[in-house]
């Protein structure tokens, strides 16, 4: 199954910018272009990222340097969020294993009985 690609020209039209502006964002590393045969374009997640860039610039008046910093911070926060999720899963597994081990040592069959 091939992933959906939105051609650069279509993305530019939808965002009301020139394809040249999108190429500039690619060169700056703000978005990643994908190739499918002779078509260059973007995955849907990258089109959403382009929309975010355009919103920051047009609606909020943030210059491109500011947009780069914001996107970098957002990317880092996403990485940290995933890392925290992984750590939470590890802790959950450790606690479950510990609970199972405690349950098995406290079961009536494993206890030695002492008589007075």
Is residue 66 pLDDT above 60, yes or no?
yes
Contact criterion met (CB below 8 Å) for 21 and 6: no
pLDDT at 41: 95
What pTM does this model have?
A: 0.71
Is residue 73 pLDDT above 60, yes or no?
yes
pLDDT at 114: 53
pLDDT band (50, 70, 90) for residue 102? confident
Task: Indicate which CATH number applies to the domain containing 46.
Answer: 1.10.1660.10
pLDDT at 103: 85
For residue 115, how far is the Cα from the chain centroid? 62
Q: Please give the Cα distance from 35 to 3 (Å, whole number).
A: 11
45 in a structural domain: yes
Q: Please give the Cα distance from 28 to 30 (Å, whole number).
A: 6
Q: Which residue(s) pair with 34 in the sheet?
A: 41
112 in a structural domain: no
């Amino acid at each position: 199954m091939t992933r959906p690609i939105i051609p650069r020209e279509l993305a530019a039209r939808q965002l009301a910018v020139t394809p040249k502006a999108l190429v500039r964002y690619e060169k700056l590393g703000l978005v990643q272009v994908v190739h499918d045969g002779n078509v260059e374009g973007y995955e849907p997640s990258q089109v959403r990222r382009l929309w975010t860039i355009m919103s920051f610039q047009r609606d909020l008046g943030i210059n491109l340097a500011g947009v780069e910093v914001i996107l970098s911070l957002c990317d880092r926060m996403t990485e940290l969020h995933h890392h925290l999720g992984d750590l939470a899963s590890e802790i959950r597994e450790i606690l479950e294993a510990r609970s199972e081990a405690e349950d098995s040592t406290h079961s009536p069959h494993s206890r030695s009985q002492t008589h007075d």
